[in-house]
Structure 1
Amino acid sequence: MIASNVKPLRSALICGALFALLAVMAGAFGAHGLRGVLGERGLEVFQTAVTYQMYHSLALILVALLPVAGLSRHLLGIASGFFVGGIVLFSGSLYLLVLTDIRWVGPVTPVGGIAFMVGWILVAISGFRR
């Protein structure tokens, strides 16, 4: 039986792997399917979304493994939630901005960036609290 404080970290590992897969797919789509469709600036924004998605997908996998080093499972579980939220809000809003005419999502992007920052702060704090 898995302890309840391990489940969020298992979920972080699974989400990290799936978000990384989606980032690779999005990157390939951007490189091959969007050339000639989007302008240079649109491709740059799309690539930014892919890059941040991949970084934070790897962060989710890292967070799932850090308890082995004795770091706080509780804080890492919360950090993983912020990383997932950041991917959805930051990268997701950039994808929507570039691929659609939906402009109201623009203000959502910085909220996703803040979620990323909070996640990293929690990872750092978990290093101090065992």
Structure 2
Amino acid sequence: MSKTILMLAAALLAAAVILGAFGAHALKAKLTDDLMQVYKTGVEYHFYHALGLLLISVLAVQMPSTLINWSVICLTAGIVIFSGSLYVLAITGIRWLGAITPIGGLSFIAGWVLLFLAVWKR
């Protein structure tokens, strides 16, 4: 599983770089300052949690656990829901998408709590 987590982390980090560059170059002139900040927040959280997945891939070798696997699922869902909703909101201006964003935030929190529990149980 650690190889899968490492590959997932690498793919998500590559996507974060691509999306960050896209925002900086293709969207900068098209988005208002407020929407650009929304987009940047999506990229930042995408990066932070993808880096977290990279670290978790190392932990998964040392202490394989179902809780770690669920942590990975929650963090990945968080990236998709939290950052994804912010990307779409910024590009389209559809404000109701902001209502979805907290679900991604809860997924992030659940992922980190599950990692805590995995380490605590060890």
TM-score (norm 1): 0.86
Indicate the residue corresponding to 1:21 in structure 2.
14
Q: CA RMSD in A?
A: 1.4
Q: 1:1-130, aligned counterparts within 5 Å? A: 6=1, 9-69=2-62, 71-130=63-122
Between the aligned partners of 2:64 and 2:6, the Cα distance in structure 1 is: 16
Instruction: State the secondary structure of the residue aligned to 2:98.
Output: coil
State how far apart, in whole Å, the 1-side matches of 2:83 and 2:10 are: 16
User: Which has more radius of gyration?
Assistant: 1
Letter in 2 for 1:118: A
Distance 1:19 1:99 in 2: 20
Amino acid at match of 1:125: L
Where structure 2 has 5 or more consecutive residues not aligned to the other structure, the ranges are none
Q: 1:67 & 1:40 partners in 2: Cα distance?
A: 40
Higher helix share: 2
Segments of 5+ residues of structure 1 without an aligned counterpart are 1-5
1:35 deviates by 1.6
Distance of aligned partners of 1:42 and 1:87 in 2 relative to their CA distance in 1, 3 Å threshold? same
Q: What displacement does 1:127 show?
A: 1.4
